[in-house]
Amino acid sequence: MSSPAIRRITQAGVVGALALGVSGVVVMDKSVALSVDGEKSTVHSFGGTVADVLDKQGIDLGEHDTVTPSAQTPVDDGQTIVVRYGRKLTVTVDGKEREYWTTATTVGDALKELGIRGSDDAVLSASRSQGIGRDGLELKMSTPKDVKLLIGGKRSTATVTAATVEAALKQAEVRYDSNDRIKPGASAAVKDGMTIRLDRISNRSDRRTESIPFTTVYTKDASMLEGTTKVEREGRDGLRTNTVRKTYKNGKVAVSKVTSSKVTRKPVSRIVVQGTKPKPEPKPTATAAPKAPAPKAPAPKSSTRTSAPKPTSSPEPTSEPTSEPKSTGSGAGIDLSRAAMWDRIAQCESTGNWSINTGNGYYGGLQFDIQTWLGAGGGDFAQRADLASRAEQITVANRVYAQRGLQPWGCAHAA
């Protein structure tokens, strides 16, 4: 065979071999539609399984990822492969945390896929359209809750989706400031049926003026008779201004405290002078001497021996009766019986000051009031008990004692 013929045969064989190779490639190449988390593309495969296609595209499937059809499925020309990556979704529902895995790519689709109860009306920390990345997402969810409100002492109810008490009060349009007290605390988690209490607290400072009572000072004067007194200077109350801080709870005063005090006018003492000069001894009153009886006339002599008629006797003159003189401060009618007992009672009633007059309506060492003093004849000695001597006061006391015992005296126990 000539060389040109051999050359043509060889060329024909090469062309035939090339044609068979191209035909084989065409037969092995398959077009596959690939969707990864919603992103679509077209890839070519020369046979094998879905796993081979994914491996060629560098797609590694994790525990929570899904692929449709399964990884062991043989690949056909024109087949569609769908890959969805798993995403970790941490959901805190009303303070309780739970973990979920989802292949959804948005919050809204994930909640539908997982079927979390109450999610339709819940308030979310992220919008429902927000995407969920491969690294997952933390989501807070508050479901509607019915709560009882006690605001400033007034009761009401509200339905809130807030997660904390502070947010619940804002949803219920309750305003408050830093002085107000919230129970439970503002950061406490809201629970269905709970009671939220808010007490309105306010503070205010006021000034209040009060009087300072004056005192009475007693001095002695030897030039004045014992039992007499004289007011040398009238007393006057002082003034004190107090600053009072008041704390109000729900409109009522809960705490009142004096924070400062200032004397704006000092009190002036009342000065009373008491006489110490002894009273002169009373002079005895003169009494009329009784008249001497008139002498009897002698009986007339008779010349006869006949007995003369018995003369009638004339009555003997008697002295005029004398009445007991009335006590006029002269010492007449003084009765010092039980003097030691009255001294003990006076020590209790007036510390033994027989001329005391404090202005309380009771006078003298035994603290007579005017009515009792005059009713027992004290006016025989003085208009008031403090103006009478000790002996005269004891005399009147004995008169009262004869009628009423020790009942009128509060210090009867000192007897």
List, in order, residues 6 or more apart from 364 with CB less than 8 Å away: 350, 354, 355, 356, 357, 373, 384, 385, 386, 388, 393
Class of domain 204-277: mainly beta
Q: What's residue 57's pLDDT?
A: 80
Query: Among candidates 393, 329, 404, which has minimal Cα distance to 365?
Result: 393
Class of domain 32-85: alpha beta
3.40.190.10, 1.10.530.10, 1.20.140.70, 1.20.1090.10: CATH of 339-414: 1.10.530.10
Q: For the domain 87-142, what is the CATH code?
A: 3.10.20.30
Please give the distance of CA 370 from its chain centroid, rounded to a whole number: 49
- Summarised one tens digit per residue, pLDDT across range 122-167 is 888 898 898 888 888 988 888 888 999 999 999 999 999 888 999 9
Q: Where are the domains of the chain?
A: 32-85, 87-142, 145-199, 204-277, 339-414
- Summarised one tens digit per residue, pLDDT across range 81-128 is 899 898 999 998 877 888 999 988 899 888 888 888 677 778 888 988
Q: What is the DSSP secondary-structure string of 212-263?
A: E---EEEEEEEEEETT-EEEEE--B-EEEEEEEEEEEETTEEEEEEEEEEEE
How large is the average pLDDT for residues 238-243? 94
Q: Does domain 145-199 have CATH number 3.30.450?
A: no
CA 355, 356, 357, 361 dihedral sign is negative
Fold equal for 145-199 and 204-277: no
How large is the average pLDDT for residues 236-262? 93
